[in-house]
Structure 1
Amino acid sequence: MFDNVVKNYRQWRNYRNTVSELSRLSTRDLNDLGIGRGDIEFVARRAAGK
């Protein structure tokens, strides 16, 4: 059970870090990566393994 809590916490931190980093990019930089501003949360969820 404890392992599951740790895993979920790490996924959540990874998600939040990804959202934060992508949100700091300009719209132009995001477009260069093929990401729309509205896609940030979706991309972050996939990166976190959720």
Structure 2
Amino acid sequence: MTMTCFYETLKSRFVARAKYRRTLHELSRLPLDTALDLDIYPGDIRRIAAEAVYGAARA
């Protein structure tokens, strides 16, 4: 693995992690009644955020 490839991989992982954290934050800020209307249960927020960013296989 070249250094350029290493840094590109590292950068893409940081970007994905930032997207995950942003998605997690947004979902956790939903009012409970709105979340439940969307079938989002508080215990599922981490899984939903991970699926949204990393795909279903990662969750």
Fold shared by both chains (TM-score > 0.5): yes
Paired positions, count: 50
TM-score by length of 2: 0.77
Identity score, percent? 32
Is 1:3 aligned to 2:8, yes or no? yes
Q: Within 5 Å, give how 1:27-42 maps onto structure 2.
A: 27-42=32-47
Tell me, which stretches of 5 or more residues in structure 2 are unaligned?
1-5
Q: Which residue of the partner structure matches residue 49 of structure 2? A: 44
Moved over 3 A (4+): none
Aligned Cα RMSD in Å?
0.9
Q: Give structure 1 stretches of 5+ with no counterpart.
A: none
Q: Distance in 2 between matches of 1:38 and 1:44?
A: 11
Which structure carries more relative contact order (alpha carbon 8 Å, separation 6+)? 1
